[in-house]
Amino acid sequence: MSGLQAHVVVARPRFRVDVAIDAGAGETVAVMGPSGAGKSTLLDALAGLAPLNGGEVVVAGKTVERATAPRVHTPPMHRGVVLLGQDPRLFPHLSARENVAFGPRAGGTPAPQARADADEWLDRVGLGGLGSRMPRELSGGEQQRVAIARALAASPRVVLLDEPLVALDPVTASEIRGMLRDQLAGVTTVAVTHDAGDAIALAERLFVLEAGAVVQSGPVRRVLGAPASAFVASVADMNRMPGVSARGGWTDAAGRVLTGAEAAPAAREGVALAAVFRPGDVRIVGGAGSNAWAATVVRVEPTVAGMRVHTSAGMVDVSDATVSWSPGESVWLQVDPSRVRFVPLS
Amino acid sequence: MSSARGYVPRSLAFPALVGLAFLILPLLALIARVEWSTFVVDVTSPAALEALGLSFGTGAAATVACILIGVPLALLIARSGPRLAAMLRAAVTVPLVLPPMVGGIALLYLFGRQGWLGGWGLSFTTPAVVVAQTFVALPFLVLAVEGAVRSTGVDFERTAAALGAGRWTILRRITLPLAAPGIVAGVVLCFARAIGEFGATALFAGNRPGVTQTMPLAIYTAFNGAGVTQGTAVALALLLLATAVLVLMLVRGWRPGAAR
């Protein structure tokens, strides 16, 4: 067994995390979840900064942490797990080169060799020739590049990413995302993010954490395309309406009836299902019809492409900016059956 | 951000100038009393040079001792929980608020002939001067270094550990360099306090010329025994002042990394 296998149980008053995640050797998995879901606790536990109340962490086939007898606790300096956070946390008194050379030198590489390797790493992250700069002389994006080079130069067994791009402007973030994707190829990585785009760009599989537990996991696009919770739906930017299967379609407590592309979403009636569809596939129509329902406008938000109308029953993307809706207005919404998917509710 | 002036009330300049004058005028008054005709003879007399050498020798030894035991103590306090840290900090502060005389008496009861550690035969020797200076100067170093280490936090140390660095490597390459400004400030304060130390030295080490008579004691002796002129005392005082300022400027000038 290689890569990372972790079952992390951390119990605190009024807060419990019980999460099992795994990443194959060289695989990148993403972890998403609302604030307070236990993402930071998970990362701290993997890095060896937070004690476990139960479970174990196995890195590259070696148990580095086990809460039950025989107990194991490998201190952070010996487990080969490096965290890249939102703050690059470069050592302010060391040049970019010395920052990158820090890990190899601590591991016993002679200083001249480590410095030469550091210059190569800086080249690879797009900072060739800037090795002598001090961290305070670098921009935020450059600092994050140095941090990435420093993390990878230490030849970690596992890299943990904690929203490393969130403090950067979109252009810089996009450039670094591409560089990160190239450099992380072949490195076992756990990436915590709030951004579905990051998850799709960097990771093969996605774990969704809510209230200290994994609620959904699988290939990133499959999870985002079949959101099992309101959180995943909002991350994937999808409408998600809970209901039950009925008459070859779907219905909910408010009496709305929808049919989808699949002939029979469930084997029998009354199975809990969520109807899932994109706000861009919803149209505002004149009145009742098939796959249509009534709703009340809650708020209207201008977007780059037009506007998004939030209603009491789903979001609608409208590209025609000449028509406007105001909160409180009653509207009819309609979605094409081919655009609707039904996802089992757990 | 071209100006660092901010928005401090302008009228505060008045008490500020009073404070500055209060610090500088006495020194000017001292310099005004120097009898330049005998100055060179006074400061180059064997007794004066002996006292000066003893002061700097013991002051340097006390500073080294303070670094060797004070920096570890500062690290211990900085990395303790809030309650333990508050208790330790209070314990370190006590010698600071204690009159140095009382410290001298306390040292005498520990190391004197009848004291718990009287067998060491320490009192009224040159090492006793170093002990007295270390006792009064240590809190300055500990508090300065502790503040610097605490404000740096543990995040950089954690990052270094994740990159595979052991505890000694982290201390040598991360913790101490980041605390360097605090360490320099602490060493300056510590040395200045050791050089100026009088009360504890007088009671614990005595006033033996060439053995325990440091500059402050020599100045006191000269001042008391001089009768009308006091020229020797003034000359010695000026010599101590000048050399102390020189040493402090040298230490201040050496600022590793000058982190922020």
Domain contains B19: no
| Residues from A in contact with B at Cβ < 8 Å | 47, 49, 75-78, 80-83, 87, 89, 91-94, 102-103, 106-107, 136, 150-151, 154
Whether residues A277 and A149 share a domain: the answer is no
Query: Three-state SS for A164?
Result: coil
- Give the total number of structural domains in chain A: 2
Whether residues A202 and A281 share a domain: the answer is no
- Given a cut of 50, the residues of chain B with pLDDT beneath it are 1, 228, 257-260
Check B161 against A77: CB less than 8 A apart.
yes
Domain contains B150: yes
Domain contains B9: no
Whether residues A211 and A271 share a domain: the answer is no
- Give the total number of structural domains in chain B: 1
Q: A154 CB contacts (<8 Å, ≥6 apart)?
A: A80, A82, A102, A103, A104, A106, A107, B162, B163, B164
Report the CATH number that the domain containing residue A219 is assigned in CATH.
Answer: 3.40.50.300
pLDDT at B40: 84
Strands A249-251 and A72-73 turn out to be unpaired
Whether residues A275 and A320 share a domain: the answer is yes
pLDDT at B112: 83
Q: pTM for this structure?
A: 0.82
Check A89 against B161: CB less than 8 A apart.
no
Q: How far is B172 from chain A (nearest CA, A)?
A: 11
Q: How far is B258 from chain A (nearest CA, A)?
A: 8
Domain extent, residue A319, equals 242-344
Report the CATH number that the domain containing residue A316 is assigned in CATH.
Answer: 2.40.50.140
φ, ψ at A300 (rounded to 5°) = -120, 130
Asked if residue A24 lies in contact with residue A157, where contact means CB atoms within 8 angstroms, the answer is: no
Q: Is the ipTM of this complex over 0.85?
A: no
Check B156 against A47: CB less than 8 A apart.
no
Tokens for A11, please give them.
Answer: 């119990």
Chain A touched by B177 (CB under 8 Å): yes
Local mean pLDDT, 10-residue blocks, chain A (346 residues): 88 88 94 90 90 91 89 89 91 96 94 95 90 94 93 93 87 88 91 90 93 92 88 90 85 85 73 89 87 91 88 88 83 90 81
CA geometry: angle A64, A67, A73, nearest 5 deg: 35
Chain A touched by B165 (CB under 8 Å): yes
Domain contains A220: yes
Helices A140-153 and A111-124, axial angle in degrees (round to 10): 130
Whether residues A164 and A307 share a domain: the answer is no
Q: How far is B86 from chain A (nearest CA, A)?
A: 25
Check B178 against A77: CB less than 8 A apart.
no
Report the CATH number that the domain containing residue B80 is assigned in CATH.
Answer: 1.10.3720.10
